[in-house]
Chains A and B, each alone.
Chain A
Amino acid sequence: MKSLDYDVKPLLLVPVLALVALPLIGSGSTWLTLTVAGLAMGMIIFIIASGLTLVFGLMDVLNFGHGVFIALGAFVATSVLGGMGDWTGSGDIWRNLVAVLPAMLVAMAVAGAVGLAFERFIVRPVYGDHLKQILITMGGMIIGEELIKAIWGPQQIPLPLPAGMRGSWLIGEAAIEKYRVVAVIVGVIVFTALAWTLARTKLGLLIRAGVQDREMVESLGYRIRRLFVGVFVVGSALAGLGGVMWGLYQQSVVPQMGAQVNILIFIVIIIGGLGSTTGALIGALLVGLMANYTGFLAPKVALFSNIALMVAVLLWRPQGVYSVANR
C-alpha cells in the first residue's frame, strides 16, 4: 500500500490549461495578464462556491438561492464603502484596506444572518426532496432580489474600487491589475483557512465525514443538523464576501447579480465533485482561466466554453475531478 494516495492528476489541470493557452495567445505579456485575471476571477468564484459545495455534500441540499447572498454582500458593501469616502478615495492602499475590511466583515455578517433564516424557513422544510429544494430556493432568491430592490432600489449601483487598488503594475510588457492581485490574495487566505479547518480540526473532520456518510456520523453521536446549520451560515457568509469581491471586480452591482453568477458556481461545484472543497478550487480556477482565455481568443464562445469544459471533465470523471467517497 502506498503511504500517500492523493490523486494529483486534477491538480495538474490548471497549469496544463494555462500552458495550452500560451501558444494560442501568442504574446507572453497578454497571456500573463489574462492568466492573472483568470486566477483572480477563479478565486472569487471559489470563495462563493466553497460553501455551496459543502452544503450539498453534507445534507444533499440543492440550494439554488445561494446567489442571493452574493448580491446581498455586494449591496451591503456599497452602503459601507459609500459612507467611507475619505478612506476609499485615498491613494494609500492601507487606508483603502481599512475601508474594505469592515465592508467585507459587515457583508459576511449580514449574509450569514440571512443565511441562518434562509436555512430555518426555506431549506429545512424540504430536506430530502430535491425538486422542492430547487423550486423553493429559487423562489427564495427571487424574494431576496425583490427585497434588495426595495432597500437599495432596482437600478445598477456603482461600486468603484478604492483609489489605491485602481490601475496596474507593469511586469515587462504585461499589465497586472492591482485589484486582481488583491482578489488572489483574499482567495488564497480563504482557501488556506478552509483547508486548515477541514484538515486539522475536529470540526473539519466532522464536516468531511458528514459529507461522506452523514448517517454514520449521527450513529457516532454527533448532531449533524447543527453542523449543517453552521456550515450553511458560513457558506452564506463566504458568498457575501464573494459578492463584495465580485462587485468590486465588476465595479457595479445589480440585484440580479446573484442569479448571473449562480450558473458559474454550479458549473464549478459539478466540475469539482459535489462536496469537495479542493475540487471546487480547481473547478473555479479552470472556469476563471477558460472565461478569460476564450474571452480574448473567441469572445462569441466564452459562455459556451465553460459548459464545454464541464462536459469534458465529466466525460473524464463523471463524478467530478474529486468524487467524494461513499456518496
Chain B
Amino acid sequence: MSDGDLLLELHGVHTHIGVYHILHGVDLRVPRGQLTMLLGRNGAGKTTTLRTIMGLWQASRGHITFNGQNITRLTTPRIADLGIAYVPENMGIFADLTVKENMVLAARGARTAAQIDTQRLEWIFKLFPAVEKFWNHPAGKLSGGQKQMLAVSRAIVEPRELLIVDEPSKGLAPAIINNMIEAFQQLKASGVTILLVEQNINFAKRLGDTVAVMGDGRVEHAGSMAELAADEALQQRLLGLSL
C-alpha cells in the first residue's frame, strides 16, 4: 500500500499515563476509504491508542500523521477541526441535554437545529430512526442502543474524513448490533474512513476491510480482515479464539 492511500498513520507511538507506560511503540496504518478494525484482548491498549490519536492523552514518543500532517502535538479541538470525529467507549452523550441539543452542539456550523444540513439530517434519521423519534427527549433517558445511535449520529452530523469509534457494540442487544452494522456499512459506502475498536468478533468480521491486532501496547498483527478470518491458527495465537 502506498503512503498516498493512507489517511492516518501511527509510527512508534508510546503513551504514558502517569507512571504507567501503556503504549510501547504502536505502528498503525488506516487506509483511506476503508474500515479498519482494531482488535485485541482487554488491556491491550486499544482505547489508549484512540485517545492518543485524538490528543486526549499525549504521545510521549513517536508520531501520528493525518492526511500527511503531523498531528502528534496538536490539541484535541485542533485535531477535530481537521476532520476527525470520535465516539468514546462511554459514548460521551450529554445526558442533561436533549437529543436535539446534542446534535446542534455537534453541528459546529449551526446555532439552532433549523440550521443543520437538512439532507444530512434526513440521511441520519433513515440510518437511526430513534434519533428522530426521541428528538426532544433528554439524552440521558435513552436506552443504551439509542445512546450509541445518537453518539454515532452526532459524529456524522457534519462531513468528517475519519470516524473513530470505540466499541460500538458493547452491551447492545443482537437486533441493535445488526442495526449498527447496517449503519456502518452505509457509512463506509458513503466514503467515510472508519477506525473501529471492537471486542465482538462477528461484528468485526462482517465490517472490517483491514485489521490490526494489539497486544501488550503494540500492534502484533496487521493485514486484511479476510486473511485473519481464514487463518484459525493466527486467530488462536493473537486473540485466543476462532472467528
Contacts and interface: CB of A to CB of B under 8 A. Distances in A.
Given A202-B111, A218-B80, A325 B96 contact: yes
B125 to A, nearest CB: 18
A155 interface: no
A326 B77 contact: no
Given A3-B137, A202-B111, A220 B96 contact: no
Contact of B92 (A5, A208, A213): A213
Nearest to A204: B101
Contact of A219 (B88, B95, B138): B88
A144 to B, nearest CB: 32
B39 interface: no
Contacts of B203: none
Given A3-B136, A326-B94, A215 B56 contact: yes
Interface string B136-158: 11101100000000000010000
Nearest to A223: B77
B5 to A, nearest CB: 26
A220 B134 contact: no
A209 interface: yes
Nearest to A209: B94
A224 B77 CA distance: 9
Contacts of A1: 134, 137, 141
Contacts, number: 73
Contacts of A121: none
A219 B76 contact: yes
B195 interface: no
B104 interface: yes
A172 interface: no
A212 B81 contact: no
B66 interface: no
A325 B105 CA distance: 17
B97 A208 contact: yes
A216 B141 contact: no
Interface centre among A202, A213, A219, A325 (most CB of B within 10 A): A219
Contacts of B136: 3
A94 interface: no
A216 B75 CA distance: 13
A324 interface: yes
Contacts of B138: 5
A224 B56 CA distance: 13
Contacts of A326: 94-96
Contacts of A209: 94, 97, 105
A17 B76 CA distance: 47
Interface centre among B96, B97, B101, B106 (most CB of A within 10 A): B96
Contacts of B56: 215, 218-219
A23 interface: no
Which range holds the interface residue count of chain B?
20 to 34
Interface string A285-327: 0000000000000000000000000000000000000001110
Nearest to A211: B96
Contacts of B96: 208, 212, 324-326
Contacts of B111: 201-202
Given A208-B96, A209-B94, A209-B97, A202 B80 contact: no
B92 A219 contact: yes
A216 B88 contact: yes
B104 A221 contact: no
A117 interface: no
Nearest to B115: A202
Interface centre among B94, B101, B134, B136 (most CB of A within 10 A): B94
A2 B94 CA distance: 18
A33 B198 CA distance: 64
Contacts of A206: 105
A5 B86 CA distance: 29
Interface string B93-109: 01111000100111010
A11 interface: no
A222 interface: yes
Nearest to A276: B96
B54 interface: yes
Contacts of A219: 54, 56, 76, 80, 86, 88, 92
Given A1-B134, A326-B94, A205 B101 contact: yes
Interface string B80-91: 110000101000
Nearest to B91: A216
B94 A218 contact: no
B104 A202 contact: yes
A213 B154 CA distance: 15
Contacts of B112: 202
A205 B106 CA distance: 11
Contacts of A325: 94-96, 140
12 contacts: A3-B137, A202-B111, A202-B112, A205-B104, A208-B94, A208-B97, A218-B76, A218-B80, A223-B77, A325-B96, A325-B140, A326-B96
Interface of A: 1-3, 5, 201-202, 205-206, 208-209, 212-213, 215-224, 324-326
- In the complex, the 8 A-B pairs of residues with the closest C-beta atoms, listed nearest first: A216-B92, A325-B95, A221-B80, A218-B76, A209-B94, A219-B86, A325-B96, A202-B111
